[in-house]
Amino acid sequence: MKLLSLLGSPKPKGNTASVLDIIEGEFKAQGHEVERINVAEKDVHGCIACLNCKNTSDEAGCIFKDDMVGIIDRMIESDIILFASPIYFWSVTAQMKAVIDRSFSLYTNYHKPDHASLLKGKSIALLTTGGGVYDGNAELIGTAFKNFSKALIMKNAGELFVGSFSSPDKMADEIRSRGTDFAMQLLNNI
């Protein structure tokens, strides 16, 4: 099984990456393949809603030929895709938002009988981190993510929010345990 992690943090060794390390480590320990893409290091243009991608259901069809092309290829090759982002102003980072918006090119005919997706049947998961608590901070991301997974016809394998820790070097054992438990939850939900 292959896990693709999409890290949306501009801090490659920050809190989100540290929790992601734990989750990926558990996947590797269980004998699974793991690939991480730090989307903050990629050139991904924002979607311009030209709708060119809706002309075909057998390829992404986006007019932009930037690093998202390779990300899409990796998404299609994976069994589970884990979106990981810190919370910035009640949402994912701008870098992750560009990837999510460009994923619009992966499905066609939403809300119609011939709704199709290049990711149909694959599993999707969400990891978010923040300095505060979930309520009033991260719950909107969870709602949007559930809708996103429906549009892509993907199985939502789980969501984890880790809040109220200040830096990776101050990560409590409880957070490490939650990361390991989440990895096992994902493995059991695929």
Cα(155)–Cα(167) distance, integer angstroms: 32
Q: Where are the beta strands (DSSP E) in 68-165?
A: 80-86, 107-108, 116-117, 123-130, 155-163
Q: Is the pLDDT of residue 74 over 80?
A: yes
Instruction: Write the Ramachandran bin of 30: left for phi over 0, alpha for psi from -120 to 50, otherwise beta.
Output: alpha
Model confidence pLDDT, tens digit, residues 14-68:
999 999 999 999 999 999 999 999 999 999 999 999 998 888 778 888 999 999 9
What type of residue is 37? I
CA angle at residue 44 from 160 to 26, to 5 degrees? 30
Length of the chain in terms of residues written: 190
pTM of the model as a whole: 0.94
The residues facing 6 across adjacent strands are 37, 83
